[in-house]
């Protein structure tokens, strides 16, 4: 089949490559000429395992091309995936839909000019429930139908998540649209992915409800960490024991610095704004607390650092391990690690940040922090080390060797993944949220 993918950010670039990989002919569209040229040469503008090779392979096979022209897109295919961003509006936290609207308007103009009347516009962007209905009005006169097919990929495993999704949710308004989406995803469904067909508003809601649930799970265990700190209990054992209950499950119960990234924080705020708009603010009032618990973990981490430095971080040297919002990614959008690093700098500390992948992005976002290309350099003469993003290589560090380069061997394991016993027997003081007995 021929498909277009409009918007080649994270979701779009991965979707375009994966659709070509399963045999479709794909045209990727973006307003950014540089990005289009880079993608055509197999260079994604972000780090994502497996993506670059897949782009190169599918471009070379003639299955994937890129353009900046929506008119060309309208002529090329009948099925158009809209994957543009829906940033958070700074005033209200609501989703800003102007990119989605511009993409749909541009495509509609192209469809009218091309005289195509069988087109299906498939939204993938995360939007407030009810958006597809509003967009349908913008397609009037084109004969195009609209569907919603939310994206659930995680950064760092985006290619796998797209090729082997745990479910495909297809929100449709016609049997023809459902048949078209079933055809697009036939190879994935044949490989076992459940295909859940529903209306567009339910499909839109599946995405925001899922992300809200995941965020709630993380904040729940972080709230329990706060309780553990006072009661002298151990949150890691608590999470492990709770997770063995098959109704709860172990995933997303890792206590620590909390969630960041381009989705969870923005999605819960946009959902809250949308619920208030429809007069159901009270139904999701708990999401405000989920958000508050989450950002509170940043202050708690700083508090643990201050305990090691006698109450103040002024004029102290602080090493920060991790800048990406999570390991396996170079994305620093809403990164809890960088928020902590910057807050510590503002308290008068000299902060040196290490990250295996995200230093360039971090430097662009936080130019006043210092950056080190290896962990030893970051830790030289440090008064305290903050472990803020749990890259697997930080678990492999030799605490005895690192103890010789710091000024004072004290580490805050804000992600609860270091081997506490090993660090302590190498002479470190170690503290971690929700594990007061380590003190």
List residues binding ligand UDX (CB under 6 A). 151-155, 211, 214, 218, 252-254, 256, 258-261, 263-264, 325-326
- Assign 3-class secondary structure to 213-277: HHHHHHHHHHHHHHHHHHHCCCHHHHHHHHHCCCCCCCCCCCCCCCCCCCCHHHHHHHHHHHHHH
In angstroms, what is the minimal distance from the CB of 69 to ligand UDX?
A: 28
In angstroms, what is the minimal distance from the CB of 240 to ligand UDX?
A: 12
> 53 labelled as ligand-binding?
no
Show the tokens assigned to 102.
């511009």
Q: Cβ neighbours of residue 226 under 8 Å, at least 6 residues apart?
A: 293, 296, 300, 433, 434
> 152 labelled as ligand-binding?
yes
In angstroms, what is the minimal distance from the CB of 154 to ligand UDX?
A: 4
The nearer residue to ligand UDX, 153 or 375, going by C-beta atoms, is: 153
In angstroms, what is the minimal distance from the CB of 215 to ligand UDX?
A: 8
The nearer residue to ligand UDX, 211 or 361, going by C-beta atoms, is: 211
Place of tokens 């709230």: 223
Active site residue 263: yes
In angstroms, what is the minimal distance from the CB of 168 to ligand UDX?
A: 13
> 101 labelled as ligand-binding?
no
Return the number of other C-beta atoms located less than 10 Å from residue 2's C-beta: 11
| Cα separation, 20 vs 140, whole angstroms | 30
* Residue 437 DSSP label: G
In angstroms, what is the minimal distance from the CB of 434 to ligand UDX?
A: 12
CB 439, CB 232: distance < 8 Å: no
> 187 labelled as ligand-binding?
no
The nearer residue to ligand UDX, 125 or 211, going by C-beta atoms, is: 211
> 154 labelled as ligand-binding?
yes
The nearer residue to ligand UDX, 309 or 416, going by C-beta atoms, is: 416
| Cα separation, 86 vs 170, whole angstroms | 20
Of 378, 399, 407, the closest CA to residue 319 belongs to: 378
Place of tokens 């913008």: 138
From edge to edge, which strands make up the β-sheet containing 168-171? 64-67, 25-29, 2-6, 79-82, 120-123, 145-148, 168-171, 195-198
> 95 labelled as ligand-binding?
no
Q: Which of 18, 83, 263, 379 is catalytic?
A: 263
| Cα separation, 378 vs 434, whole angstroms | 26
In angstroms, what is the minimal distance from the CB of 236 to ligand UDX?
A: 12
CA distances from 124 to 7, 15, 37, 108 (A): 10, 10, 23, 17
DSSP 342-363: HHHHHTT-EEEEE-SS-HHHHH
| Cα separation, 65 vs 167, whole angstroms | 27
Exposure on the CB side of residue 254, measured as CA atoms within 13 A? 14
The nearer residue to ligand UDX, 48 or 145, going by C-beta atoms, is: 48
The nearer residue to ligand UDX, 155 or 204, going by C-beta atoms, is: 155
> 266 labelled as ligand-binding?
yes
The nearer residue to ligand UDX, 4 or 222, going by C-beta atoms, is: 222
Of 297, 309, 332, 252, the closest CA to residue 432 belongs to: 297
Show the tokens assigned to 12.
């779009």
Please list the active-site residues.
Answer: 263
Which residues contribute to the annotated binding site for substrate? 152-155, 207, 252-256, 260, 326
Which residues contribute to the annotated binding site for NAD(+)? 30, 35, 86, 126, 155, 266, 333
Which residues contribute to the annotated binding site? 30, 35, 86, 126, 152-155, 207, 252-256, 260, 266, 326, 333
């Amino acid at each position: 089949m021929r498909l277009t993918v409009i918007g080649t950010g994270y979701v779009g670039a991965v979707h375009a490559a994966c659709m070509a990989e399963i045999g479709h002919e794909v045209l990727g569209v973006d307003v950014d000429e540089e990005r289009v040229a880079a993608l055509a040469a197999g260079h994604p503008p972000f780090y994502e395992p497996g993506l670059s090779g897949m782009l190169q392979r599918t471009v070379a096979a003639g299955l994937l091309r890129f353009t900046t022209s929506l008119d060309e897109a309208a002529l090329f295919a009948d099925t158009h995936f809209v994957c543009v961003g829906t940033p958070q509006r700074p005033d209200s936290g609501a989703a800003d839909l102007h990119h989605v609207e511009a993409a749909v308007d541009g495509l509609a103009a192209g469809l009218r000019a091309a005289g195509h009347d069988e087109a299906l516009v498939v939204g993938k962007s995360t939007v407030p429930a009810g958006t597809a209905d509003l967009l349908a009005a913008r397609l009037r006169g084109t004969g195009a139908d609209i569907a919603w097919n939310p994206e659930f990929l995680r950064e760092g495993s985006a290619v796998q998540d797209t090729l082997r999704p745990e479910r495909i949710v297809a929100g449709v308004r016609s049997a023809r649209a459902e048949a078209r989406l079933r055809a697009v995803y036939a190879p994935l469904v044949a490989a076992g992915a459940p295909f859940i067909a529903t209306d567009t508003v339910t499909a839109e809601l599946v995405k925001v409800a899922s992300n809200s649930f995941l965020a709630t799970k993380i904040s729940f265990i972080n709230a329990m960490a706060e309780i553990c700190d006072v009661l002298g209990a151990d949150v890691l054992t608590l999470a492990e024991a709770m997770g063995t209950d098959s109704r709860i499950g172990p995933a997303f119960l890792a206590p620590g610095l909390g969630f960041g990234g381009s989705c969870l924080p923005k999605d819960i705020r946009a959902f809250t704004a949308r619920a208030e708009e429809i007069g159901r603010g009270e139904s999701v009032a708990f999401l405000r607390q989920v958000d508050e618990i989450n950002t509170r973990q940043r202050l708690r981490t700083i508090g643990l650092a201050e305990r090691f430095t006698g109450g103040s971080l002024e004029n102290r040297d602080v090493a920060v391990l991790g800048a990406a919002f999570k390991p396996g990614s170079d994305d620093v959008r809403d990164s809890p690690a960088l928020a902590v690093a910057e807050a510590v700098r503002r308290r008068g500390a000299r902060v040196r940040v290490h990250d295996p992948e995200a230093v360039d992005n971090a430097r662009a976002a936080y130019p006043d922090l210092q950056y080190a290309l290896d962990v030893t350099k970051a830790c030289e003469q440090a008064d305290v080390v903050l472990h803020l993003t749990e890259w697997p290589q930080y678990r492999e560090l030799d605490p005895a060797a690192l103890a010789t380069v710091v000024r004072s061997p004290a580490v805050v394991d804000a992600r609860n993944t270091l081997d506490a016993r090993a660090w302590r027997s190498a002479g470190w003081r170690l503290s971690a949220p929700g594990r007061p007995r380590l003190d």
